[in-house]
């Protein structure tokens, strides 16, 4: 099962070890795609083949969810995708262009997530993940403050 977060080393060839507990859900490899968080941080998402196909189908069957930029989003999803097969040591090799996009050098954080109802994992530069998590914490606090203010306004 793909759960948790792990800090891993990325070697000079762009290889990184995927936690052994995640292997049963991943098959023979993953498709790496570029991603962008709501806070503006770049990262990579690693999807098993089934999850990648579901994501492509979501794009194809739900054009309104991507606004007028659907073609750009679809192109980005396909153009920079990278098929990564596990080697004998159960590592994947991520191409340097995608590592550069995500700002990953030397160390990466692997975090569990879900895409199109399928387990996936994300590959982050550690500092980008920290900034993203802080931005989320601030957003969540603002949402809670808004909800509390609405409750107070509705008190009789």
The reply to whether 135 falls in a domain is: no
The reply to whether 12 falls in a domain is: yes
CA angle (7, 9, 14) in 5-degree steps: 130
Torsion of CA 64, 67, 72, 74, to 10 degrees: -20
The reply to whether 132 falls in a domain is: no
What is the structure's pLDDT at 106?
Answer: 94
Distance (Å, rounded) from C-alpha 105 to C-alpha 144? 36
The reply to whether 145 falls in a domain is: no
**52-95 tens-digit pLDDT:** 888 787 777 765 554 555 666 677 778 899 999 999 999 999 99
Give me the number of domains the chain comprises.
1
What is the structure's pLDDT at 53?
Answer: 84
Distance (Å, rounded) from C-alpha 108 to C-alpha 16? 8
Length of the chain measured in residues: 156
Q: What is the CATH number of the domain that holds 81?
A: 3.40.1550.20
Decide: helix, strand or coil at residue 52: helix
Contact 16, 86 (CB under 8 A): no
The reply to whether 152 falls in a domain is: no
Kindly tell me the burial class for residue 125, based on how many C-beta atoms sit within 10 Å of its own C-beta (0-12, 13-18, 19 or more).
buried
| Model confidence band, residue 155 (pLDDT cutoffs 50, 70, 90) | low
Question: Is the confidence at residue 99, as pLDDT, over 90?
Answer: yes
**122-149 tens-digit pLDDT:** 999 999 999 998 887 777 777 777 776 7
The reply to whether 138 falls in a domain is: no
Q: Which of 39, 15, 43 is nearest to 101 (CA)?
A: 43
| Model confidence band, residue 98 (pLDDT cutoffs 50, 70, 90) | very high
Other C-beta atoms closer than 10 Å to the C-beta of 98 total 20
Decide: helix, strand or coil at residue 131: helix
Please compute, for residue 41, the number of CA atoms within 13 A of its CA located in the half-sphere on the CB side. Answer: 22
The reply to whether 133 falls in a domain is: no
Distance (Å, rounded) from C-alpha 124 to C-alpha 138? 20
Q: Which domain holds residue 38?
A: 5-126
């Amino acid at each position: 099962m793909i759960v948790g977060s792990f800090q891993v080393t990325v070697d000079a060839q762009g290889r990184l070890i995927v936690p052994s507990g995640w292997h049963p859900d991943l098959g023979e490899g993953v498709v790496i795609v570029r991603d962008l968080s709501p806070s503006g941080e770049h990262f990579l998402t690693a999807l098993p083949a089934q999850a990648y196909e579901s994501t492509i189908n979501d794009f194809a069957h739900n054009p309104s969810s991507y606004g007028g930029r659907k073609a750009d989003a679809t192109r980005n999803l396909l153009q920079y995708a990278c098929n990564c097969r596990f080697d004998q040591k159960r590592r994947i090799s991520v191409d340097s262009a995608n590592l550069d996009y995500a700002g990953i050098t030397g160390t990466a954080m692997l975090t569990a997530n879900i895409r199109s109802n399928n387990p996936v994992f994300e590959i982050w530069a550690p500092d980008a993940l920290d900034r993203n998590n802080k931005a989320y914490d601030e957003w969540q606090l603002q949402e809670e403050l808004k909800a509390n203010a609405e409750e107070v306004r509705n008190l009789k």
